């Protein structure tokens, strides 16, 4: 049980403490004026902050190296037109003059020689005229050699093209053909048409197929290709009864 004296002392102590606290509080709230001895009005001090260092530069981005530019192309060549020169005219070798009959011999039979050169027998075809290579000459130049000689092959009435016979076609075919070193006709050309294609083609075809020759030979005895020109006549004969 607390006595009356102790209670009184506690009350007084509390009052004293509160008074001290109040005094301290008042003392802290009063403004204080600081007075400097001999103040110098011309000198003022400022707190100067040192400038902050500049920011570090950003690392430069790697740029792609510029592509090397190609060197200029060398100057182009200037083309010049080639001068065109006309080729020299071909030299046409004229065949030696050949002795031929002025006209074919009349035949009483219905078979004149059908070959382009004279043959040993008679045939049933139309009259044939032809020229071949010449033989030895009487001139001062070197002669010799052997001329082309026909040995076989004929065209007869039985060879008359059916299409030409049907339309009653007839006529003379001009020809030029080449005899090779083997004595065979290697090529045949119609130089003058008979007016009927079947007659022209049949004439050349039969000459290539049937005609045989002993080839021409030079003075050394070497055979060489030779050319023959001539013509063949296709005729249609009327029977004696047709004329009565």
The answer to whether residue 113 is domain-embedded is no
Position 219 pLDDT exceeds 70: yes
CA distance 204 to 178: 11
The answer to whether residue 160 is domain-embedded is yes
The answer to whether residue 107 is domain-embedded is no
- For residue 192, the domain's CATH number is 3.30.2420.10
Q: Which residues contact 170 (CB under 8 A, 6 or more apart)?
A: 164, 194, 196, 199, 234, 235, 236
Q: What's the number of domains the chain is made of?
A: 1
Q: Which domain holds residue 150?
A: 128-134+145-243
The answer to whether residue 196 is domain-embedded is yes
pTM of the model: 0.43
Of the two residues 196 and 64, the one the predictor is more confident about is: 196
CA distance 211 to 106: 24
The answer to whether residue 233 is domain-embedded is yes
Position 140 pLDDT exceeds 50: no
The answer to whether residue 237 is domain-embedded is yes
The answer to whether residue 28 is domain-embedded is no
The answer to whether residue 191 is domain-embedded is yes
pLDDT of 100-134, one tens digit each? 333 333 333 333 333 454 333 333 344 444 444 44
pLDDT of 46-103, one tens digit each? 555 666 667 776 665 556 555 656 556 566 555 454 454 455 666 555 554 443 333 3
């Amino acid at each position: 049980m607390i006595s009356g004296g102790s209670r009184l002392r506690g009350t007084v102590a509390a009052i004293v403490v509160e008074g001290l606290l109040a005094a301290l509080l008042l003392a802290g709230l009063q403004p204080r004026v600081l007075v400097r001895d001999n103040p110098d009005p011309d000198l003022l001090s400022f707190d100067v902050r040192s400038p902050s260092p500049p920011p570090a530069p950003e690392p430069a981005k790697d740029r792609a190296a510029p592509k090397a530019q190609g060197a200029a192309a060398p100057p182009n060549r200037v083309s010049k037109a080639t001068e065109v020169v006309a080729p020299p005219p071909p030299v046409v070798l004229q065949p030696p003059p050949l002795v031929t009959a002025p006209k074919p011999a009349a035949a009483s039979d219905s078979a004149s020689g059908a070959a382009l050169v004279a043959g040993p027998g008679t045939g049933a075809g139309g009259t044939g005229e032809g020229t071949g290579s010449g033989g030895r000459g009487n001139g001062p130049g070197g002669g010799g050699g052997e001329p082309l000689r026909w040995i076989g092959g004929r065209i007869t009435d039985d060879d008359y093209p059916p299409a030409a016979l049907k339309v009653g076609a007839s006529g003379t075919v001009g020809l030029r053909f080449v005899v090779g070193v083997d004595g065979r006709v290697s090529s045949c050309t119609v130089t003058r048409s008979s007016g009927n294609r079947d007659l022209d083609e049949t004439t050349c075809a039969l000459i290539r197929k049937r005609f045989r020759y002993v080839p021409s030979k030079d003075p050394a005895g070497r055979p060489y290709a030779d050319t023959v020109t001539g013509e063949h006549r296709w005729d249609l004969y009327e029977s004696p009864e047709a004329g009565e």
